[in-house]
Amino acid sequence: MKLNNQTFDPVQALVAAQKAAQAGAKVLEQYFGRLKQVSEKHLAGLVSEADLASEDAIKGELQSLYPAQFLGEESSHGTVEVWPSEGNWWIVDPLDGTTNYIHRFPIYCISIGLMWQGELALGLVHVPALHTTYHATKGGGAYRNGEKISVSERSSIRDSLLATGFFRDQPEALKEQIEIFSKLVFEARGIRRAGAAAYDLCLVAEGVFDAFWEKNLKPWDTAAGTVLVREAGGVVKDYSGADYNITAPCILASNQNIYSTIYRSISDCRTC
Ligand code: IPD
Ligand code: CA
Ligand code: CA
């Protein structure tokens, strides 16, 4: 594979990500409701033949249209000891929301992030069942189906709609998430658990959700959505209040105005 050593070209990279997402979506639509091979990964949720075939299709497009190293969930989970923090990397979840997809709950997406010279430079999330694509490039704003988007301005927790996610097979993390949930559910207008973290982040970026938090996500869940939320004017931090980077175990993404309120609630319960 010939690696791309040139300066970042957002237009070309975006074209590559769009084509790759279309190729992945074609696969996911073909398999939806027709799965034959579903299995459990060790402490990493479910996987089906659709996850694998989608990743192959996406990887093929990206490598031919805008070469960079490739970190995809299905080819990398369980094998990576150190997450990438420098160089040029496509960071891909070929099917975010696998549990939803397997149960035919149509909230699932493809998440494609690009790290360029160690910095998150592009994010694209495609939600096939909603015919919706979100994209953002560093310094270029965030978009939903081509229309500019921005985070909400809500500052009152009473009026806010929040989102989170949790994972059954990590009991300690689950306990902590439930503690945070139990606190905020009394304060917020509502809390949603849509089941696809990359899409949750897009909903923060477009101001539907005012904040989203989750523990133990992986770079392929968050890389694209992080670029989207930041480019839409939002804040993406880890649970210690530092700027989020994909190696962090916890993420809190929100609008500017509600950030400190949610951060305080999480800090009261957090262990990471
Ligand atoms: C999962 C989803 C879910 C989140 C899990 C993730 P997957 O990704 O994003 O919303 O709560 O922690 O692992 O397994 O469907 O790609
Ligand atoms: Ca995922
Ligand atoms: Ca996945």
pTM, two decimals, is: 0.95
pLDDT tens-digit profile of 31-50? Answer: 998 888 878 877 667 788 99
The CA–CA distances, whole Å, from 254 to 10, 50, 143, 263 equal 25, 31, 17, 10
Ligand nearest to the CA of 217: 1
In a structure prediction context, what are the per-residue pLDDT tens digits for the chain, which is 272 residues long? 455 567 899 999 999 999 999 999 999 999 998 888 878 877 667 788 999 999 999 999 999 999 999 999 999 877 887 899 899 999 999 999 999 999 999 999 999 999 999 999 999 999 999 999 999 999 999 999 999 999 999 999 999 999 999 888 888 888 989 999 999 999 999 999 999 999 999 999 999 999 999 999 999 999 999 999 999 999 999 999 999 999 998 999 999 999 999 999 888 876 65
Q: Could you name the CATH architecture of 10-149?
A: 2-Layer Sandwich (3.30)
Which atom of ligand 1 lies at the shortest distance from residue 108's CA? Answer: 15
CA dihedral 103, 220, 191, 271 (to 10 degrees): 120
pLDDT tens-digit profile of 72-128? Answer: 999 987 788 789 989 999 999 999 999 999 999 999 999 999 999 999 999 999 999
Which residue type sits at 81? E
Within a 13 Å sphere around the CA of 227, how many CA atoms are in the beta-carbon half?
Answer: 29
CATH code of the domain occupying 157-267: 3.40.190.80
C-alpha 1 to ligand 3 mean position (Å): 25
Q: Same CATH topology for 10-149 and 157-267?
A: no
Which atom of ligand 1 lies at the shortest distance from residue 93's CA? Answer: 16
Segments making up each domain of the chain, as ranges: 10-149, 157-267
